Amino acid sequence: MTDTHPVLPPASLRLTVDRGALAANWQALNALSGAAKAGAAVKADCYGLGVDNCVPTLRDAGCETFFVAHWSEVPAVARHVPAHQIAVLHGVLDLAGCAFARAIGAVPVINSLEQAELWTASGGGACHLMIDTGINRLGISMDEINSPAVSALSIDMLMSHLASADEDNATNHRQAALLQDAAKVVPHRRLSLANSAGIALGADFAFDLTRPGLALYGGIPRAELAGFIKPVAMVEARILQCHPLAAGEAVGYNATFVAETAMRVGTVSIGYADGFLRARGRGNAVFHESRRLPILGKVSMDMVVVDLSAAPDCVAGDWVSVPWDINAAALQNGLSPYEMLTSIGQRLRKG
């Protein structure tokens, strides 16, 4: 008889989130926020590391305000924290969005006069308000802060977003000053500006609530944070096959690597579908018990081939560690640390 409930074999990929490091990162950023309280950006499935992994850890560390971009992200976060602690950055675009916000209890970030009017007309209630002080993405302009549509809102958090916090740029101070100007006109309970890099700019940017994202998950957007932020993600993959390669034989697509001498190679179960992008192949390596195994040829969708010269004892089934220091890898491969995190593939997240 066929087993109707077959047991799935162990995965050949695994992503481990160091929850202690994540908690320590939030606590460090909270302390660096001074008199302000740190929230947490948990959009994009906690930057690729998993809501179920990260949100309970952040909650238990002391975080009380969580930011997502889409309404579709709210239910997963609301499994772990009260919905009124969740802010939705994209705001409300229609009556269905307003109805969902009230039904679940999450708080919209109003980004335009049209959204303000829609929210009020649908019944109003607590909301946040984004002021555009110079990034020109979302938010009402400074010219609109005296609008009756704004006056009608019940605003918890008055917010803006720094455009160049990772640089020493006069724009940062100009944006902070504009938010302070808006705060004199718009009634609100809390004021928020600083992202991860903004926290490193100091007390003038912290206000009442900071909104770290990247630094929570191990990214270092400014050098001032380097001594405080710990790596959070660890990635491992299994060797699928080991085999000899003769001198003159090539590896992978387009034969970009050709063996000069006989060697032993291994095929590892990770590829660009998992977020190990093709740009990360040349010049990089995976590791087995601290032994460096250089990547040979192009990264494929589901696998890479590595040189086993330094680890002749490796066999199929062995695990190798895949460097996922998002700061170093981003510099090596022309990616931003944000891309390093959010490009993690579903197979790796579910491994």
3-state helix, strand, coil in the chain (%, to 5): 35, 20, 40
Q: 228-250: buried (b, 16+ CB within 10 Å) or exposed (e) per residue?
A: bbebbbbbbbbbeebeebeeeee
The catalytic residue among 184, 217, 230, 253 is: 253
Q: How far apart are CA 16 and CA 49, in angstroms?
A: 9
The catalytic residue among 43, 47, 298, 338 is: 43
230 included as an active-site residue: no
253 included as an active-site residue: yes
| Both tokens assigned to 250 | 């090539």
In Å, what is the CA distance from 333 to each residue of 113, 270, 299, 325, 326? 41, 17, 13, 12, 10
Angle at 47 between CA 43 and CA 52, to 5 degrees: 75
The per-type count for the chain, helices as H runs and strands as E runs, is 12, 18
Nearest CA among 117, 152, 115, 120 for reference residue 130: 115
Residues belonging to the active site? 43, 253
